[in-house]
Amino acid sequence: MRLVMDPLGMVAEVVELESLKRWHQIPPVHHLTDYSAIGEEQKHTTSPFPFDPVINDKIALWTGDISCLSVDAIVNSTNESLTERNPVSDRICARAGPALKEEIWQEVKECRTGEVRVTQGHNLPARYVIHTVGPKYNLKYQTAAENTLHFCYRNVLQKACELNLSTVALCVINSVRRNFPPDEGAHIALRTVRRFLERHLNALDLVVFAVENIDIGIYEVLLPLYFPRSLQEEETALWQLPASVGGPDGEPLLPDRQIRIIDNPQHSLDGEESVDLSSQLDSSVTVGEHAFSHMQGDLDQQRLLGERPQTDPIGELMIKEMQNQERYERLLRRAKTEDLSEVSGIGCLYQSGYDRYGRPVIVFVGKWFRVREVSLDKALLYLIYLLDPLVKSDYVIAYFHTLTTNANHPSFTWLREVYNILPYKYKKNLKAFYIVHPTFWTKMMTWWFTTFMAPAIKQKVHSLPGVEYLYSVMSPDQLEIPAYITEYDMTVNGLHYFQPESTT
């Protein structure tokens, strides 16, 4: 630790990474129980998270003010407008100085739940602040909340890798203020980080779990389950880990479909959605015939290792669809009121006449869509603004990949997000998606995207080597495209078809 003078002349501490103990250097806090001796049935036959000294050397558990850490990036858990007042956010903003709030106000503006936004660290010891918005929690939407929290942690780690960072400090993203059980949140955080490091071992040098005093006990109990420091801890975890430890990335898995018979079909819909954590967390373990009552040790530690309730997968899917629809309606209202000239002025997306079946043709010019120079949020709003009145009936899209570069290619994450946000009518009424002048890489990526992310439109996507192939489905005078596209087309395919009048 060192002391520095901040801009106001106050002495502020800076915690250097060299002063942090790695996880394998911290001795066990809790006694290892011999579960086999008391007849308890183990939940796993082999360890889902085996002892790995290399991964353990990339983990640190630290209690204190995250704004003091001298790391490449620290995480700030906030709300969608990035204005939430909580102790961690307040300390980060206070130490970063007014320039952080100014950057948020002028450039970032908002962050949707589960996503991340990045700002400079300004006066912080950290170079960057990665902001994310954790989910609200209630029993009815439990799986949705757990999945969203998983994406918060995973998106933070992915963003750190995209920025070529080597050290990142994670605050506790889940919040009791949003009714999220702290132990459930810790399980998700730990297994997500563990799976990420397994898949991207060389991507990060250190992940610091920077927790408050209220959470340190939870992490001391659960960290050995996901990052065992010895073969003994690995073996003990076979009994203590939850039966479900998530998917390949640590994401929560939907339980197997079940047919439930109840006396009153309305019963499952009655009652409040939220749970009062102040009472729930204190009484979530019943001592008596439970196996834990025959063990020695801390009852709080035992509660953290308990099973989670199962949920209804069909209900979850219906709820998710309703949430997506509500989200789309909010975006549509914004699209009708916000200034979108930043995107509309580029001219990369517009309607261009009708095809031979009377269906509107939407043109997208890839070269003019510069991902790093345009707000992707506003791009989505403009897409909704333009397409919403057109997709109520059949329509087609012509995408010109002509002379595009990496600067024109949005990430698969963003494309998947857009695809998931757009309602069913967009997929149902889309009759054809033409990709003109595709490259081999484009064809491969299109196949991958439509196979694994957008199978509903897979049979509607067609790769065309030239503009002339569009004229079998639309009249040349109905297609308005930039001059550079037809000029390129002539150099590649020759002038052997009727060339429509081009726009510049």
Q: Rounded to whole angstroms, how far apart are CA atoms 382 and 369? A: 13
105, part of any domain: yes
CATH code, domain with 365: 3.40.525.10
| 3 state SS of 482 | strand
220-233 pLDDT, tens digit each: 889 999 999 999 99
Residues 235 and 333 in one domain: no
314, part of any domain: no
The number of helices, as runs of H, and strands, as runs of E, in the chain is 16, 13
Residues 6+ away with beta carbon under 8 Å from 221: 29, 30, 300, 301, 304, 305
Q: Rounded to whole angstroms, how far apart are CA atoms 490 and 201? A: 48
246, part of any domain: no
* pLDDT for the residue numbered 289: 37
CA atoms within 13 A on the CB side of 256: 1
Q: Rounded to whole angstroms, how far apart are CA atoms 311 and 298? A: 29
Tokens of 119: 């700002």
Residues 210 and 336 in one domain: no
Q: What does DSSP assign to residue 392?
A: T
* Closest listed residue to residue 306, CA positions, set 246, 231, 221: 221
Q: Which domain holds residue 8?
A: 2-240
Residues 206 and 335 in one domain: no
Examine the fold and report which residue of 240, 263, 284 is the final residue of a domain before the chain moves on: 240
Give the CA-trace dihedral at 269, 274, 277, 283, to 10 degrees.
Answer: -10
CATH code, domain with 181: 3.40.220.10
267, part of any domain: no
Residues 218 and 336 in one domain: no
- DSSP characters for 20-87? SPPGGGSPPSSPPP-GGGGTPPPS-SS-SS---HHHHTTEEEEES-GGGB-SSEEEEEE-TTS----H
Residues 212 and 338 in one domain: no
Q: Rounded to whole angstroms, how far apart are CA atoms 470 and 467? A: 6
* pLDDT for the residue numbered 272: 38
Residues 141 and 11 in one domain: yes
Q: What Rg, from alpha-carbon coordinates, does the chain have? A: 27
265, part of any domain: no
Examine the fold and report which residue of 217, 240, 263 is the final residue of a domain before the chain moves on: 240
* 436 neighbors 404 (Cβ within 8 angstroms): no
| 3 state SS of 128 | strand
C-alpha angle with apex 209: 206 to 211, nearest 5 degrees? 155
Residues 90 and 236 in one domain: yes
Tokens of 10: 């106050």
Query: In sequence order, what E strands does 147-186 have?
Result: 167-170
Q: Rounded to whole angstroms, how far apart are CA atoms 214 and 182? A: 10
Residues 235 and 337 in one domain: no
The total domain count for the chain is 2
* pLDDT for the residue numbered 1: 54
Tokens of 382: 């403009």
| Consecutive 10-residue averages of pLDDT for the chain (504 residues) | 50 82 84 60 89 96 93 95 90 94 91 93 95 87 90 95 95 85 90 95 94 86 93 90 90 56 37 40 36 41 52 60 81 92 90 91 94 89 93 94 88 82 90 91 79 81 89 88 90 62 42
Residues 229 and 332 in one domain: no
* pLDDT for the residue numbered 91: 94
Tokens of 14: 């800076």
Q: Which residues pair with 62 in a beta bridge?
A: 210
* 177 neighbors 86 (Cβ within 8 angstroms): yes
| 3 state SS of 412 | helix
User: Directed axis angle between helix 182-199 and helix 213-226, to 10°?
Assistant: 50
| 3 state SS of 308 | coil
